[in-house]
Structure 1
Amino acid sequence: MVEDEQEIRELMALHLLRQGYKVTECPSAEEAINELNRDSGYQVFVLDWMLPGMSGVDIIGKIKAKNPESSVLMVTAKTEPQDVVEGLEKGADDYIAKPFHPSVFIARVKSLLRRAQHKNSKAPDESEYSMGGLRMNFKTYEISFKNEPLHLTPSEFKLLGSLVQNEGCVLTREQLIENIQGEGINVVGRTIDTHVFGLRKKLGEWGDRIETIRGVGYRVKVDLA
């Protein structure tokens, strides 16, 4: 946990400790890097943006390079859409604005941990995805919900594939455009929103899992079961 304001840092640490998590507190990015060099086994990094010296977003790349399996949660007062987008594009997996409710903070940390566990459980066969009755085969481009075949356009399939393969994480519209752009597929601006609208209609109740992060992009909720 990297936060220069002691009261906030200790409060977040207390809530995590009460949930049974082990927490290491760092008041600066430099101290966090030193800790990372000593122990790269951390599962989640909680970063403030505005820190003395090096900022929180400046060390995301160092964290991911040292421990690519770890997740990064930004907890910051920089809440303009462009700030959120920058944090996510630098590699943050989720973003919470200050002030925040402790229950939301804990829920986001748990979500990142579940996502990591879910990803590891699916590692043996990354060509298949299954959650909540939805099944996708990335080799055959087949998709079904509750054993009923669905008919998606190539863009819709790629868009949904990007979201489910990054389950629990916010993807910006720019990231989604980059992921689904290709030969014969030209995606610009609000086209992503149109595709998401179509996806939700075709997916029925499963479509409720696709969350809109206003001003930023979309994510698929992690299965709580």
Structure 2
Amino acid sequence: MNILIVEDEASIRDVLKSYFLKEGWGVYTASDGLEALQHVRKFKVDVILLDLMIPKIPGEEICREIRKSSNVPLIIISSKSREEDMINGLNIGADDYITKPFRIKEVIARINALLRRVEMFTKENKEVLRFNHNSLVINFETQEVLVENKAVKLTSTEFKILDAFVKKPGKIFSRQDLSYIVQGYRYIGDGRTMDAHIKNLRKKIEEDPKNPKYIVTKIGSGYKFNSILDEAR
């Protein structure tokens, strides 16, 4: 497993690299945004750890650029600790968000949890599901989604949320349930982080995100998936 650390503070970068090497992971490092994009294009990277406040190209722009072509698991690490900053990070495509100062063991645990969910998801999904006369098509093996015959790009977290919904249509999922399913731990808070993921997912698969027909809010309970399954193969 190869991880890319994008961090301009050498002390933080070196400590993370040291611990990751002890985990047996391959490690690439970048100290600025330009170098980060070069590494993404040149090397096979399985996880990206991205600081937002880096020189040359801001982390937010890096995240958006990566999401144009890849759903590689991406975790933001940042000293921006306001909830609005966290939600913005998820809105631009991050799978998780860790604030500084952080504990190394927590970072490693978050990475392992994300990788376990990705691995489990890959092993369990070998089919194609079609909904509403092919208006929504989900290929779980290739992680491709078509909406009205047009491909849409989901992050790995968004895809895992969609997977949970469509495999159990009609089931009400709380925000904590979804956090456990996609991240491997139950988020304790007011739920705005998961709401941000749902909002992004709706923008990509719903005809009218403000009046969704697929992912429906159940006030006081959470969310559920409503749709007509055409076929599975």
Tell me the TM-score range normalised by the shorter chain: 0.5 to 0.7
Q: Kindly tell me: are residues 174 and 12 of structure 1, through their superposed partners in 2, closer, same or farther at Cα, counting changes over 3 Å?
A: closer
Q: Kindly tell me: are residues 45 and 139 of structure 1, through their superposed partners in 2, closer, same or farther at Cα, counting changes over 3 Å?
A: closer
**Other-structure match for 1:26:** 30
**Other-structure match for 2:50:** 47
**Other-structure match for 1:176:** 198
Conserved in 2, the CA contact under 8 Å of 1:44 and 1:112? no
The Cα offsets for residues 128-185 of structure 1, whole Å up to 9 and x where unpaired, read as: xxxxxxxx7837737xxxxxxxxx5xxx26x67x938971188532443564953599
User: What CA distance in whole angstroms lies between the structure 2 residues aligned with 1:182 and 1:21?
Assistant: 41
Report deviation, 1:85: 0.3
**Other-structure match for 1:8:** 12
3-state SS, counterpart of residue 50 of structure 1: coil
**Other-structure match for 2:166:** 138
Q: Kindly tell me: are residues 7 and 115 of structure 1, through their superposed partners in 2, closer, same or farther at Cα, counting changes over 3 Å?
A: same
**Other-structure match for 2:101:** 99
**Other-structure match for 1:167:** 182
Report deviation, 1:60: 1.0
Q: Kindly tell me: are residues 87 and 67 of structure 1, through their superposed partners in 2, closer, same or farther at Cα, counting changes over 3 Å?
A: same
Q: Kindly tell me: are residues 25 and 186 of structure 1, through their superposed partners in 2, closer, same or farther at Cα, counting changes over 3 Å?
A: closer
User: What CA distance in whole angstroms lies between the structure 1 residues aligned with 2:95 and 2:104?
Assistant: 19
Report deviation, 1:61: 2.2
Q: Kindly tell me: are residues 184 and 122 of structure 1, through their superposed partners in 2, closer, same or farther at Cα, counting changes over 3 Å?
A: closer
**Other-structure match for 1:220:** none
Larger fraction in strand: 2
**Other-structure match for 1:205:** none
User: What CA distance in whole angstroms lies between the structure 2 residues aligned with 1:37 and 1:185?
Assistant: 34
Q: Kindly tell me: are residues 2 and 183 of structure 1, through their superposed partners in 2, closer, same or farther at Cα, counting changes over 3 Å?
A: closer
Query: TM-score when scaled to structure 1?
Result: 0.64
The Cα offsets for residues 187-211 of structure 1, whole Å up to 9 and x where unpaired, read as: 59xx3xx114x99xxxxxxxxxxxx
Conserved in 1, the CA contact under 8 Å of 2:179 and 2:194? no
User: What CA distance in whole angstroms lies between the structure 1 residues aligned with 2:57 and 2:214?
Assistant: 43
User: What CA distance in whole angstroms lies between the structure 2 residues aligned with 1:24 and 1:183?
Assistant: 43
- Give the RMSD, CA atoms, in angstroms: 3.5
Q: Which runs of 5+ in 1 are unaligned?
A: 128-135, 143-151, 200-225
Q: Between the two proteins, what is the percent identity of the paired residues?
A: 25
